[in-house]
Amino acid sequence: MTNWLSQEQQEIWRSWLSATSLLPDQLGRDLQRDSGLTSADYEILVRLSEAVNQKIRMSDLAECTLSSRSRLSHQIDRMEKSGFVTREECPDDRRGSFAVLTERGQDLLVSAAPGHVESVRRHLVDILTPEEFESLGKVCTKVSNHLKSLTSNN
């Protein structure tokens, strides 16, 4: 027998679906308009900027950006042609490689970040109370940890 959602649960579920679709779309449009970057480009630049020596092994970058290796490889190819990243061979594994942030990529990230942060504030942070935002963080962490545990067990 199916344990159906109550009316209230159904409304919350649909609100969740709407918000998790509309928010990334809006942030992506703002980012594209303001800096010419896609959300995927921006995330890669951020991850690389925060990494030791501003480089990350491609397989690790795919994992932390929740991207397939093939999709990430195409993304890095595009970004490399634009001069935002380079690839380096992995010295201890000839099949592996690193994505490395270039100075041009760092400059682009530095110029794009203020507008992106303002967009995140305008469309999420500032429309919630501090308590609501904290609760949102706890809920998202709980759901994320649950889903990550499922993928690590497979």
Flag whether 47 is in a domain: yes
Flag whether 19 is in a domain: no
**The domain spanning residue 67 has which CATH number?**
1.10.10.10
Residues 103 and 129 placed together within one structural domain of the fold: no
Supply the pLDDT for residue 154. Answer: 62
Residues 79 and 146 placed together within one structural domain of the fold: no
Supply the pLDDT for residue 15. Answer: 97
Q: Which structural domain, as residue segments, surrounds residue 142?
A: 124-154
Residues 50 and 108 placed together within one structural domain of the fold: yes
Total-model pTM:
0.89
Residues 66 and 87 placed together within one structural domain of the fold: yes
Supply the pLDDT for residue 151. Answer: 80
pLDDT in tens, the chain (154 residues): 899 999 999 999 999 999 999 999 999 999 999 999 999 999 999 999 999 999 999 999 999 998 999 999 999 999 999 999 999 998 877 778 999 999 999 999 999 999 999 999 999 999 999 999 999 999 999 999 999 899 877 6
Residues 97 and 142 placed together within one structural domain of the fold: no
Flag whether 146 is in a domain: yes
Residues 139 and 93 placed together within one structural domain of the fold: no
Supply the pLDDT for residue 60. Answer: 94
Residues 40 and 107 placed together within one structural domain of the fold: yes
HEC per residue, the chain: CCCCCCHHHHHHHHHHHHHHHHHHHHHHHHHHHHHCCCHHHHHHHHHHHHCHHHEEEHHHHHHHCCCCHHHHHHHHHHHHHCCCEEEEEECCEEEEEEEEECHHHHHHHHHHHHHHHHHHHHHCHHHCCHHHHHHHHHHHHHHHHHHHHHHHCC
Residues 132 and 101 placed together within one structural domain of the fold: no
